[in-house]
């Protein structure tokens, strides 16, 4: 299968990132022929079936019979694929970037957009006629064709009503404006809520580079969770002037006033929000576990090794930053003033060359050594 990390060809045809963002991003679909020339995908059918058998990988199987669809969630035993019909089914494997360096490298080619927006790489394998049906997604997506061909019909439409009673989201009316067959290396960008339907012409794989954006309600709920763990208000309700009541079931006005006054003391400022945002966005997905080295080097040996070989982030590490702090896998860290530029470069490029690693002071080495011992980053 193709290696993508060294390809120098533009993903967006002749467009610059700037012109793509201003003309297409969130606005118009874009079909790029030969976005990754020579790309045939990173995984075989067998690789995907193996991934779909793991319980730390999210996978789904969609089978179509006429206008009806069935949906099953993995993990799947290999034998399950032997009893499937010859056509009209597709296997979807989510988050493959967490399990393969080549898949992570493919996802990172979209780093002209912030990591905080990049969600995951999903790969689907479909046999002839397979697909998930006409639907829309709430997020932006790039659909990159691996091996085989797939016919995509797509377009903007106002009526996004779904057919009731189906296990998958299927549009009641589908009125595509465009119709195109994607061959290996072709790529289709679709803005959120664009209607689309991809049907395999022959056995094929599609790589979906997905983005994420919290709804305002999700953001608020997560912020309230964050505050809940940090809120501390002194005192407790007291009623030293209590009088006898003839309505013991009533919640009294004094108690209500006290609650209003107390809750008005729950405050936050932009710094609280920034810290919440950084930790929330860098939180690893639920099924992520890091593998610490079995025989970790001492700090001195680690320092010598990164001076020689540099270091790189584990593909599962989420390392973000803002002006105030760094956010590593859900934890906030103050910037070490002497190494701010180097660590921002590490977060952006996800690797640090030996020459820069050699310039790091003792405090930063200690911090990085702990990350290495936890499996967040690696030598080389």
Q: Which is nearer to ligand SIN, 42 or 141 (CB)?
A: 141
Cα distances (angstroms) measured from residue 264 to each of 15, 222, 260, 261, 290: 51, 20, 6, 5, 41
Cα distances (angstroms) measured from residue 367 to each of 293, 373, 374: 16, 10, 11
Q: Which is nearer to ligand SIN, 154 or 319 (CB)?
A: 154
* Count of residues engaged in binding ligand SIN, rule: CB under 6 A: 10
Question: Which residue ranges make up the site for Co ion (CB under 5 A)?
Answer: 137
CA dist., res. 111 & res. 285, Å (int): 19
* Segment interacting with ligand SIN, rule: CB under 6 A, options 33-41, 73-81, 124-132, 248-256: 124-132
Among 7, 94, 145, 206, binds ligand SIN (CB under 6 A): 206
* Segment interacting with ligand SIN, rule: CB under 6 A, options 27-35, 129-137, 174-182, 303-311: 129-137
59 belongs to the binding site for ligand SIN (CB under 6 A) = no
3-state secondary structure of 339: helix
Here's the x/- map for ligand SIN, 340-369, by CB under 6 A: it reads as: ------------------------------
Cα distances (angstroms) measured from residue 183 to each of 36, 102, 213, 326, 374: 11, 21, 30, 41, 42
The listed partner (Co ion, ligand SIN, none) that binds 90, CB under 5 to 8 Å by sort, is ligand SIN
β partners of residue 62: 71, 90
Instruction: Please list the alpha-helical segments (H only) found in 86-167.
Output: 101-108
Query: Which residue in the block uniquely carries the two structure tokens 């690797």?
Result: 351
Shortest CB 254 distance to ligand SIN, Å: 56
CA dist., res. 344 & res. 335, Å (int): 9
CA dist., res. 170 & res. 41, Å (int): 27
Here's the x/- map for ligand SIN, 159-198, by CB under 6 A: it reads as: -------------------------------------x-x
Here's the x/- map for ligand SIN, 65-94, by CB under 6 A: it reads as: -------------------------x----
Shortest CB 208 distance to ligand SIN, Å: 5
CA dist., res. 281 & res. 117, Å (int): 9
Binding site for ligand SIN (CB under 6 A): 90, 124, 131-132, 137, 141, 196, 198, 206, 208
């Amino acid at each position: 299968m193709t290696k993508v990390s060294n390809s120098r060809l533009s993903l967006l045809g002749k467009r610059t990132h700037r012109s793509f963002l201003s003309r297409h991003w969130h606005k118009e679909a874009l079909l790029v022929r030969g976005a990754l020339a020579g790309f045939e995908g990173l995984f075989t059918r067998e690789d995907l079936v193996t991934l779909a058998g793991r319980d730390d990988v999210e996978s789904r199987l969609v089978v179509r019979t006429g206008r009806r669809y069935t949906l099953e969630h993995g993990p799947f035993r290999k034998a399950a694929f032997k009893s499937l019909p010859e056509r009209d089914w597709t296997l979807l494997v989510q988050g493959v970037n967490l399990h393969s360096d080549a898949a992570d490298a493919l996802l990172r080619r979209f780093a002209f957009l912030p990591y905080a927006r990049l969600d995951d790489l999903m790969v689907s394998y479909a046999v002839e006629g397979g697909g998930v049906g006409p639907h829309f997604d709430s997020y932006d997506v790039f659909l990159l064709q691996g091996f085989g061909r797939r016919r995509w019909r797509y377009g903007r439409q106002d009526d996004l009503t779904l057919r009731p009673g189906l296990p998958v989201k299927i549009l009641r009316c589908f009125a595509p404006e465009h119709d195109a067959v994607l061959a290996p290396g072709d790529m289709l960008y679709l803005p959120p809520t664009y209607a689309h339907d991809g049907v395999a012409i022959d056995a094929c794989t599609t790589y979906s580079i997905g983005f994420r954006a919290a709804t305002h309600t999700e953001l608020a709920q997560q912020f309230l969770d964050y505050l809940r763990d940090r809120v501390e208000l002194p005192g407790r309700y007291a009623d030293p002037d209590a009088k006898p009541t003839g309505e013991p079931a009533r919640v009294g006005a004094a108690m209500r006033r006290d609650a209003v006054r107390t809750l008005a003391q729950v405050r936050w400022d932009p710094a609280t929000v920034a810290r919440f945002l950084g930790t929330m966005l860098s939180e690893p997905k639920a099924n992520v576990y890091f593998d610490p080295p079995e025989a970790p080097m001492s700090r001195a040996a680690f320092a010598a090794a990164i001076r020689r070989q540099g270091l790189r982030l584990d593909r599962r590490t989420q390392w973000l930053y803002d002006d105030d702090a760094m956010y590593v896998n859900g934890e906030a860290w103050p910037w070490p003033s002497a190494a701010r530029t180097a660590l921002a470069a590490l977060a952006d490029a996800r690797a640090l060359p030996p020459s820069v690693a050699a310039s790091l002071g003792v405090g930063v080495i200690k911090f990085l050594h702990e990350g290495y011992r936890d499996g967040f980053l690696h030598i080389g």
